[in-house]
C-alpha cells in the first residue's frame, strides 16, 4: 500500500495507549449493541457504570487492570406498547480464564441461551431454546462454525445475487456508535439514564443536546423502568488476558 500524500484527516487520539477505558468500550461494545439490535430492536436509552479492578497475580511483578461495565438498556417500544423491552449487558476485559461470550433472551414465547467460544478457535456454540407452548427444550447442533467464511459468503450472495443482507449495514453501524457514545456519557456522569438521541459528541467529549428534557427520564423509578416489560435480554462479553 502506498500513501498518496493527500490525506487531510489526522489519525486522532490513540486510545489504546492513552485511555484503555475508552479503547475497550470502542472495540468490544459494538458487537453487543449490534446483536441486541438484531435480536430485540433499536435501543432508546441506556445507563451504565464502569469500574477498574486490579486482577494482578501476586509475585508476577506485572499489573493487570480489568475494566468492568454494567449497562442497562431500554429498547424502543413496539407498536401498541407503552414501554419497550429491557436488557442488561456485562462487559469484562481482560479477565482470567477462557474467553466467554453469549446472550440470554427471555420472551413470552420461551427463552434462548447461546454461548460461544473465542471466534478464532472456530468451535461450535452452545445453544438452548425453550418453547413455552410445547414445553420443549431444543439443543440445535451447529456443525458449521466457520464464522468468517459464512460472513463472506453471505456478503457475496448479497452482491452477486441480490440476497437480503444478513450482516450489519451502515445504519446498524451508526446506531451502535450512537448507543456507545450514550453509554460512555452515562458512565462518566453518575450512571443516570440517557436517551441515545439526546447525546452528541464522541467517547471522550460528549454532551446532552437538551439536558432539561433528559432530567425527566432520570426521575423515573429504576425498578419501573427495568420491570415494565415482559421481554428482556442479557448479553455477556468476557475477555481473557491474552
Evaluate whether residue 10 is within a structural domain: no
CA angle 191, 36, 113 (to 5 degrees): 110
Q: Kindly state whether residue 9 falls inside one of the protein's structural domains.
A: no
Which residues make beta-bridge pairs with 234? 88, 104
- 45: in domain: yes
Partnered with residue 52 across adjacent β-strands are 67
Enumerate the H helices of the chain as residue ranges: 15-18, 20-39, 147-161, 170-188, 211-218, 222-227
Digit-coded pLDDT (tens) for 77-124: 988 888 899 999 998 888 888 777 888 999 899 999 988 877 777 777
> Residue holding cell 460512555?
184
> Sign of the C-alpha dihedral, residues 93, 99, 105, 111?
negative
**52-58 LR contacts (CB < 8 Å, sep 24+):** 52/21, 55/94, 55/95, 55/96
How far apart are the C-alpha atoms of 31 and 195, rounded to whole Å? 20
**What is the pLDDT, as a whole number, of residue 187?**
93
**Structural domain of 74:** 15-119+169-240
Q: Which CATH number characterizes residue 57's domain?
A: 3.30.360
| Dist. CA 49–CA 67, nearest whole Å | 10
Asked, for residue 193, whether it belongs to a domain, the answer is yes
Judge whether 140 lies within some domain: no
- Establish if 155 belongs to a structural domain: no
> For the chain, how many structural domains are there in total?
1
pTM to 2 decimal places? 0.78
What's the pLDDT at 220?
43
**Burial annotation 68-101 (CB, 10 A radius, 16+ → b, else e):** bbbbbbbbeeeeeeeebbbbebebbbbbeeebbb
Residue 48's nearest CA partner among 185, 201, 223 is 185
Residue for grid cell 479477565: 95
Instruction: Catalogue the E-assigned strands of the chain.
Output: 43-54, 65-75, 86-95, 100-107, 110-116, 126-131, 136-138, 194-195, 199-201, 206-208, 232-240
d(CA 78, CA 42): 10
Per-residue pLDDT for the chain (242 aa), expressed as one digit of tens each?
566 666 565 666 777 778 888 888 988 898 889 989 988 999 999 999 999 998 888 877 788 889 999 999 999 998 888 889 999 999 888 888 877 788 899 989 999 998 887 777 777 788 899 999 999 999 988 777 788 888 899 999 999 999 998 888 899 999 999 999 999 999 999 999 999 999 999 888 899 987 554 455 444 434 333 333 334 455 555 554 44
pLDDT of residue 228: 31
Q: What is the pLDDT of residue 194?
A: 94
Instruction: Please indicate, yes or no, if residue 81 is contained in any of the structural domains.
Output: yes
Cell numbers placing 144: 458449521
- Is residue 75 included in any domain, yes or no? yes
Amino acid at each position: 500500500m502506498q500513501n498518496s500524500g493527500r490525506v487531510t484527516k489526522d489519525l486522532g487520539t490513540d486510545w489504546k495507549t492513552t485511555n484503555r477505558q475508552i479503547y475497550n468500550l470502542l472495540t468490544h461494545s459494538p458487537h453487543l449493541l449490534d446483536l441486541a439490535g438484531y435480536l430485540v430492536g433499536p435501543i432508546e436509552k441506556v445507563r451504565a457504570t464502569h469500574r477498574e479492578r486490579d486482577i494482578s497475580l501476586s509475585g508476577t511483578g506485572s499489573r493487570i487492570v480489568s475494566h468492568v461495565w454494567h449497562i442497562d438498556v431500554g429498547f424502543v417500544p413496539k407498536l401498541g406498547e407503552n414501554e419497550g423491552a429491557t436488557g442488561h449487558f456485562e462487559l469484562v476485559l481482560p479477565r482470567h480464564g477462557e474467553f466467554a461470550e453469549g446472550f440470554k433472551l427471555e420472551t413470552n414465547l420461551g427463552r434462548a441461551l447461546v454461548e460461544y467460544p473465542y471466534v478464532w478457535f472456530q468451535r461450535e456454540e452452545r445453544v438452548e431454546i425453550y418453547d413455552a407452548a410445547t414445553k420443549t427444550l431444543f439443543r440445535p447442533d451447529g456443525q458449521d462454525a466457520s464464522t468468517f467464511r459464512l460472513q463472506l459468503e453471505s456478503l457475496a450472495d448479497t452482491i452477486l445475487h441480490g440476497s437480503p443482507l444478513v450482516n450489519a449495514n451502515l445504519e446498524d453501524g451508526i446506531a451502535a456508535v450512537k448507543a456507545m457514545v450514550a453509554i460512555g456519557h452515562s458512565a462518566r456522569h453518575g450512571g443516570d439514564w440517557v436517551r441515545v438521541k439526546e447525546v452528541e459528541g464522541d467517547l471522550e467529549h460528549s454532551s446532552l443536546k437538551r439536558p432539561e428534557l433528559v432530567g425527566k427520564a432520570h426521575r423515573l423509578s429504576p425498578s419501573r423502568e427495568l420491570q415494565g416489560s415482559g421481554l428482556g435480554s442479557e448479553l455477556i462479553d468476557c475477555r481473557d488476558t491474552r
